[in-house]
Structure formats: structure tokens, C-alpha cells
Amino acid sequence: MKIVDIRETTASIASPIANAYIDFSKMTCSVVAVVTDVVRDGKPVVGYGFNSNGRYGQGPLLRDRFIPRLKEADPDSLIDAEHGTIDPFAVWRTLMTNEKPGGHGERSVAVGVIDMAVWDAVAKIAEKPLYRLLAERFGEGAPDERVWVYAAGGYYYPDKGLSALQDELKSYLDRGYREVKMKIGAVPLAEDLKRIEAALAVVDGDGARLCVDANGRFDTATALAYADAMAPYGLKWYEEAGDPLDYALQAEVSARYPGAMATGENLFSMQDARNLIRYGGMNPETDWLQFDCALSYGLVEYLRTLQMLKDNGWSSRRVVPHGGHQLSLNIAAGLHLGGNESYPDVFQPFGGFADGTPVEDGYVGLPDVPGIGFEAKAALYAVMKPLGE
């Protein structure tokens, strides 16, 4: 058993939307195919991976460092003899050979893309959905059959007024979501409060069904001003108020804001996540953690992060990953996370879940197909398949 080829390409996920920090007019993502010599259903098993939105495609790092390292490795060193399959942990160690600790920048994205493809291959070799494999190997009991998902959108968009924002959010409710998320922080506070109130009207005035996301835009004073102004709304969460690595800011805002806070999508390693837990003042009873495996060294590292959270008294149910992709959905179901993000309209075809698994009352099921489930999402598989052939 061995990996016979690793291929990569860059796909566009550009759109005219903007959050408080960036626009997505030139956003890309890497797609990787890990081709094995294992045959299932008469065809070689191919695992696929891609990276989440927010960081760009990692073609140069993949081509210059990570793919060559894997190709140069002794195939026997990448085998998990106990389970008779490829060993994602050995792949990870090989990828990270001669990489210093710290500075978890873009390389965590490149490694995450390959890691996703390896787990897809491992589950296909085992001929089971990844969420079942994860529950069996690392879980605590049977996988969840459905996962809570919320609709993320509410972006700034040229000439988008309050009624367009409301129409967008309404359309998510029409598609089965109960909770929605919108952007804040790109316009003055007073204007954002009007947007928040317009959004609240769509969810029957129920703040517990609305999340807001500042994408790390605010300094401490602005983050606190928003905290004070938004406190009466009782929102589901206030996300990424300030710079993701400014744990003191997070702790100060957490101490003052009476509602739930969320952050973590731009923390790319177990160590960075641990610093948030140590120094960010986050509340394990009420707050939410949003680490995204597809940006942060993949599922191998995510398992370390989940263990770190457990060691610090955090339930896995407080974790709702960023990114809206199917790998996080599998992790959520298999390892009992609190839910998963979803982008019903943006970042297609990489965002979103399997065809034929409608969102109902805020929950989505997973397809019963081997691997992560990409083959059950036709528009996504159409992009991946040529790379595997």
C-alpha cells in the first residue's frame, strides 16, 4: 500500500463580498489529490483536500516543500500497520520534517490541505464515512447523526442596503437554518447597529439566533464600545472582536461583555489555541471556539487541540469550527463538537454539504458514503475529479 502521486491545483473562490478586514475579490484555494495504489470498487482510491476561505491557495509551498517531502519518504514509513492503512500521523511528521516550531503562518494551510486528502483516502480505504471512522478510533460513543449548522453571510457588498441584508438572511431561514451570522465593523458603530436591528427583525427579534463577526478589526476601545452597545441584544455570539493573537484584548472584552464571545478561526496551531485558553479570558460555559482544521495543520493537529481543550476543562461541544466544509462536519459528528459553520451562498462549491442532505430546523445530516463525502456533492466533485484521474 502506498501513495503513488500527489497533485495540486489552485481554484478561484472569488466574490465581490467584503468583511471588516478584507474583500474576497481575489480569493483562491488549493485543491489536492492524493492518489494511492489501493483499489476499491475497481478504481484506485484517491483522497481529496482543499483549504478554507480566508487564506489563499498554497501552491508554492505545496510544490516547493510539502509534496516533495511526501514523495521522497519511504512508503513503508507512512503505513499504519495496526489499521492496515495509510498513517495520517506519519504523513504529518514527514510533512513537518525540518520545520521549526512557532510562526504558524501559511504553512499550516498547506499541511492542512494534504492532511484533509489523506483522511479522505484513509476513510475510503476503510470503506466508511470519515465521521464513523473518527467515532470508532477517537470518539466517545456513537457519532451524532445530525449536526447543528448556522448560516454565515451578511457580508458587506457594494450598494447593499438594509432590505438586501434582510432578504439574504430570510433566504437562509427559508432554507432550513434557524441561526444566522452577519458581518460588523466595516462601517461606523451607529450604522452597524441599524444593520443588526434590521437582522434581528428577520429572526423575530430573538438575539439568540443572530451572531455578529468583526473579523478582528477592532482595537480595544472600539471592541468595548461595540460590546456595550450590543449587550442589550442578547446575541448568540460576538466573534473575533480584535486581532486574533491579542489575548489581552480578548480577555478585556470578555470581562466586560455579558454575552457569549467566539473566536479562534485565525489561530493555526494547538499552541496558539492553548494561548487563547490560557490568556484570552474565554468562558468554557458560554463561549465558542472556532479553530478550522483546514487552515491549521489539519485533523492530526485538531486532535491535539481537542485534547488540549479537554485537559483544560473545555467540552468539545463548545467548538464550532469556521469554514463551512465537510471535513469539519465529519469531525463535528464523529467527535461531538457543538456544530459547524455553513455558507449557503458564498465560497461555492467548497462551502456547503452533500447534495440531498437538506438543513432542517438548523441541523444537517451526513451522507453514508466512504470518505469525507465529496463525491456526494456534485458541484465540488466536478472540480476535484479531474485532478484524481
Ligand X SMILES: O=C([O-])CC(=O)C(=O)O
List the one residue from 213, 287, 341, 375 that touches Mg ion (CB under 5 A): 213
Q: Any contact of residue 292 with Mg ion (CB under 5 A)?
A: no
Per-residue cell: 182: 452577519
Q: Are strands 261-263 and 237-239 parallel, antiparallel or unpaired?
A: parallel
Q: Any contact of residue 322 with ligand X (CB under 6 A)?
A: yes
Cα angle at 74 between 71 and 75, to 5 degrees?
80
Cα separation, 299 vs 292, in Å, equals 9
Per-residue cell: 198: 434590521
Position with the least CB separation from Mg ion: 213
Q: Out of 124, 128, 236, 322, which one is annotated catalytic?
A: 322
Q: Any contact of residue 287 with ligand X (CB under 6 A)?
A: no
List the one residue from 30, 36, 51, 215 that touches ligand X (CB under 6 A): 215
Question: Is residue 100 a known part of a binding site?
Answer: yes
Q: For Mg ion, which is the closer residue by CB, 213 or 246? A: 213
Binding mask 247-266 for ligand X (x = CB under 6 A): ------------------x-
Q: Considering CB distances under 5 to 8 angstroms, the limit depending on partner class, which of Mg ion, ligand X, none binds residue 54?
A: ligand X
Count CB-CB contacts under 10 A for residue 96.
Answer: 17
Q: Is residue 295 within 8 Å of residue 52, measured between CB atoms? A: yes
Nearest to 113 by CA among 2, 3, 29, 44: 29
Q: Which amino acid is at 212?
A: V
- The helix (run of H) or strand (run of E) holding residue 363 is strand 363-365
Q: Any contact of residue 341 with Mg ion (CB under 5 A)?
A: no
The reply to whether 160 belongs to the active site is no
Q: Least Å distance between CB 159 and ligand X? A: 19
Q: Are strands 28-40 and 3-12 parallel, antiparallel or unpaired?
A: antiparallel
The reply to whether 322 belongs to the active site is yes
Question: Is residue 213 a known part of a binding site?
Answer: yes
Nearest to 6 by CA among 53, 63, 83: 63
Size of the site for ligand X (CB under 6 A): 8
Q: Out of 183, 236, 336, 377, which one is annotated catalytic?
A: 183
Going by the annotation, the residues of the binding site for substrate are 19, 53, 100, 155, 181, 239, 265, 322
Contact footprint for ligand X (CB under 6 A)? 19, 54, 152, 213, 215, 265, 322, 341
Contact footprint for Mg ion (CB under 5 A)? 213
- Positions marked catalytic: 183, 322
